[in-house]
Amino acid sequence: MRIEVSRDAFPLAQVFTISRGSRTQADVLTVTLDGVARGECVPYARYGETLDSVAAQIEGLPATLTRESLQNLLPAGAARNSVDCAFWDLAAKRSGVRVWDLLGVDEPKPQVTAYTLSLDAPEAMEKQAMRHAKRPLLKIKLGTPDDMARLEAVRRGAPDAPIIVDANEGWTAEIYADLAPHLIRLGVQMVEQPLPAGDDDMLGEIVRPLPVCADESCHDRASLPGLKGKYDMVNIKLDKAGGLTEALALKEQAISEGYEIMIGCMVGSSLAMAPATILAQGAAFTDLDGPLLLAEDRPHPLLFDDAGVHPPDAALWG
C-alpha cells in the first residue's frame, strides 16, 4: 500500500468567524492510496491537531495497512478519517461499484443542508441573513456576550427561515438558561454545544426546552456514555469520528440509544463532504455547507441545488 499525503489550501469566499477565531482559507490534508484513491481531513486545533502532527500520524502508518487494521492503529481524529475514507474510495474503484453498494444501502438522496452565517456584528449578520433568507435552513454561530442582539438581527434579516444555533462551547449554564426562552421565541429549532465539553453536567440538571446537540462532547462511540441525560442529539463529523467506518457505527449506536442525528463538517472541500452524504440519510439536520463557503473547490465538486447536497460523482470520491 502506497500512502501519500499532501497539503491543500482552498480560499474562502469571505472571512469565516466563530467564537474561537477567524480564517480566510481552508487548510486540509489530502491522502492518496496507491495513486488512485483519495480522502481529505481538516486538522482542528481545538482537538490538539495541526497539519504537521496529523501528517506525521499518516506518514507513520505501515505499508501493510488495511482499513480494518487502521481502526486500531490510529485514534479517532482527522488522520484516521482521511485514510479511512481513502480506503472506501479504493474499494469502490477496485470493485467498480459505488461505496453505497459496498455498504448495502440505497443510493443517497439529496439532503437539505444548513448554511452557516459567520459570527459578526449584529448589523453585518442581519445583512448576511437577508442575502440568504431563502435558504431552507440557516445556522448561526454564537458564543459571545452579544448573542441576543445577533439573534434578533438574524431573525429580522430572515423572518421566515428555519434557524439552528451553535454556541461552540461559548456559554455558561446561566447564560443558556437565560437565552433559552428567547431562542424559542425567535423560532430556533436546536442549539448545538451550549456549554464546554467536560463542563456540561448542568445540562442534565436544567430544563432543556429545545433539543440540545452534542458536538465537541461527541467524537466516537466511546463518547456516548458521557452524554446520557444531557443531550438529545449528536453531531457526527467524519474528522471527529475518525472516518466513515466509525461514523456509521456511531450513528447506528446513537440511534439505538435514542439520540437524534446531526451530520456536520469542518470547513473543507467537496472531497471532505462526499462520504458524509451517505451518513446524512435520515438525519434530523444536515450541515455539509463547507464547499458553499469556498471561493474555489476541487474538480467534480458536489452538486448543491434546491433539493440540497447530492451524493458525489464517482470522479470525486466513492
**Which positions are catalytic?**
141, 237
Helices 173-185, 147-157: axis angle to 10 degrees equals 20
Question: In angstroms, rounded to a whole number, what is the distance separating the alpha carbons of residues 88 and 84?
Answer: 7
Nearest to 192 by CA among 275, 285, 117: 285
Q: Put residue 92 in one of left, alpha, beta given phi > 0 → left and psi -120 to 50 → alpha.
A: alpha
